[in-house]
Structures are given as C-alpha cells and as structure tokens.
Amino acid sequence: MDSIKLLYLSGDEVSSLGAGDMNLALADVEEALKLVYQGDAIVPEKIAMGFGKSFLEESDKGRINAMPGFLGGKYQMAGIKWIGSNPKNMEKGLPRASSITILNDPDTKFPVCLMNGSEISAMRTGASSGVAAKYLARRGADTLMLVGAGYQNRKQLEAIYRACPQLDHFYIVDIVRESAERFADEMGSTLGISITPITKIADCGRTPDITVNASSAQVPVMDLSVAAPGSLHICVGGLDHPDLYKKADKILCDSWKQVRHRGSCYLAVDGLAGKVRDEDIYVQEIGEVLCGDKAGRESDREFLYYKPVGMGVLDIAIASRVYRRAKESGIGTWVNY
C-alpha cells in the first residue's frame, strides 16, 4: 500500500492562503450556518475542559476545547478544532488562544491536513458576529460599541464593519485606557475609520445600535443600559449583566443546544437550571433566519440578544478553503501519516 500523506500548514502558510480575508470568512460562516440548520452537517456537542469548578473560575484559569464536526454542501469535509485559551498568557507574552485544526476525508475518515488554526478561529468568531449583525441590526444602524480591547474584538470590529458598511460611529471600551487608545489608533488606521476610546460604557456619547462583549474580565462588564430599543447585543465572551438577556424582546443563538450545553454564560446557566426554556429562545439556530424561514428583527424598536457559542464546523469551512488552495498552490509540507 502506498504511504498515506498528511499536509501540514504553519501559521504563516495559513495566512498566505487567505485565512485572513474577512469577506471570504463572512461568506464561509454564513454558508456553514445555513448548512447546520438545513441538516447537512454533523455538530457534536463541544467538549470543554475547563480548569475550574465553574464558568466564573474557568474565565480566570482557562480551558481547552475539542470541537469536532462534518460540513456538507460545497465543503464535504470532516475535522476537529483543538483550542486552548488562558487569559494569563498575555502576562507571559503569549497569545490568549492557540488552536490546531485537523481535517479528515469524510469517505476514508483518514486525516488529510493538520494546520495552525489560531487565525482561522479568530476569523470565524468575528465573522459569526458579522453575519448576525447583517441580519439582525436595525435598518439605519450607525453606532457600534465594543467592550474589551483584546485581539478578538479587532476581528469583531472588522467583520461587523464589513457586514454593515453604513456604520459611522465606533467606540472601544476598556478599563485600561492605554489599551483602548492603542486599539483605536491601530484599528482606526487599518480600517480607515475614527474610533473613540473610552473606559466606561457610560462615557459612550451615543446610544449604540450594536454592542459586542468580547472581554476577558472575571466580573460582569455589560450593564443594562445597552438594552435600548432597536439595539442588538452580541455576547461573544466575557460576562454580561446577569439580567441583560432578560431585557431582550428576542433571544437568538447560533445553536441554543450548544450554548446550553457549554454553560459558559448566565443565559446558559439559567437554561441548565430550567429557568430558561427552549420556547423562550426565539431562534434556536440562526440558520433559520439566514435561510429566510423565520424573521429576525421585525421592528426597529426591538432589543435583540444574540448568543453565539461557536461551532467547529465554522472552522472547518474556512480550513477546507485554505487546504484546497494549498494543494492547488503547492504550499505546505507533506509528511507520512
């Protein structure tokens, strides 16, 4: 039998193959979310190895997650994302998160590619919010406020701005003023926009149409003021006010089943405790809105609360594109399996 070959792609190679193209990431993530809703995907529950006895303790000590899946449609690829995250890595000069993505042939089930998945993970997380904002932000939305001046909110900003180009006012909130100012300077220059750095939500000079929580704080950072009529709140990471989701006219998830299973936010904890029922979730899979089978926003006065958990199939969508481009371009290192 001929030796089986496995393609390895480094972080630099993954970048060179278009992993950082946000427009392509938005298209991949939207298509993947549609396929999940249409049943042309396999999405096992995320295996989360939290270092702590609660999601509050985990937010301080970190976690390692395993996220397998299969995506059909034009992708026809299986695989798994293995990602570690520790907020204290920054104190050591390391990125908070590190990810490896393995792709498997859905026919033979053999692995075909091993790649650095860190950039893909950040891109798909940003793109997931971008897709949500595209469909759920009110018409005429012009103000975006991001909480947490870390790497992930850079991708959140880029994705939401690409998806909602009419946005005209941008705020970045961080308790460390220097971090907020650096974020504003660097991302403002990258995107050609003006971003206002602030240290408190209350200092925002406008009522945000879209708010994003992507902080690493171990205490709730979002107050109830963001639950304004017509606004959209996206809880990517970090802690919202425990009652914020209760203020929503509609609660939507990328996958409510996965959100509840993960148990890493107050909405999920209350779901596991039976305080939030399945019927309380207006959209349990956002693909239902993307496919046009259910209206998302029905009024410019609705406050919508969106909670994405993130699924491995989103990484597989982008990773599949990168892998196939690598084979076409002759990039990467082939090793014996």
Residue 122 has φ and ψ, to the nearest 5°, of -65, -40
Co-location of 303 and 190 in the same domain: yes
Band of pLDDT at residue 314, cut at 50, 70 and 90: very high
Q: What is the pLDDT of residue 53?
A: 81
Average pLDDT over residues 293-302: 97
SS3 214: strand
Specify whether 153 is located in the same domain as 91: no
pLDDT at 90: 80
Query: Are 244 and 269 contained in the same domain?
Result: yes
Residue 1 confidence class, pLDDT cut points 50, 70, 90 = low
pTM comes to: 0.93
What does the alpha-carbon distance between residue 5 and residue 32 come to, in Å, rounded to a whole number?
27
Strand runs (DSSP E) across 91-152, as ranges?
A: 97-104, 111-116, 143-147
Neighbour-count burial of 277, counting CB atoms closer than 10 A to its CB (0-12 exposed, 13-18 middle, 19+ buried): exposed
pLDDT digits (tens, 9 = 90+) for 131-189: 999 999 999 999 999 999 999 999 999 999 999 999 999 999 999 999 999 999 999 99
Number of domains making up the chain: 2
* CATH label of the domain that carries residue 218: 3.40.50.720
The reply to whether 320 and 293 lie within a common domain is no
The lowest-confidence range among 71-85, 104-118, 235-249, 273-287 is 235-249
**180 and 248 inside one domain:** yes
Predicted confidence (pLDDT) per residue in 210-253, tens digit: 999 998 777 888 889 999 999 999 999 878 999 999 999 999 99
CB 191 within 8 A of CB 157: yes
Strands 63-71 and 47-50: antiparallel
Q: Are residues 63 and 147 in the same domain?
A: no
CA dihedral (109, 112, 114, 117) in degrees, to 10, reads -80
Q: Are residues 149 and 229 in the same domain?
A: yes
Q: Which of 239, 267, 241 shows the shortest CA–CA distance to 253? A: 267
Average pLDDT over residues 306-313: 95
Tokens 């096992």 correspond to what residue?
Answer: 44
Domain that holds residue 292: 129-307
Q: Report the chain's mean pLDDT, rounded to a whole number.
A: 95
pLDDT at site 219: 81
The pLDDT tens digits of the residues spanning 322-331 come to: 999 999 999 9
- Average pLDDT (106-123) is 97
CATH number at residue 53: 3.30.1780.10
Residues 250 and 286 in one domain: yes
Place 87 in a pLDDT band, splitting at 50, 70 and 90: confident
161 shares a domain with 261: yes
Same domain assignment for residues 233 and 111? no
Identify the top-confidence range among 13-17, 48-52, 82-86.
13-17
What pLDDT, on the 0 to 100 scale, is given for residue 237?
84
More confident residue, 50 or 284: 284
Quote the distance between the C-alpha of residue 116 and its chain's center: 17
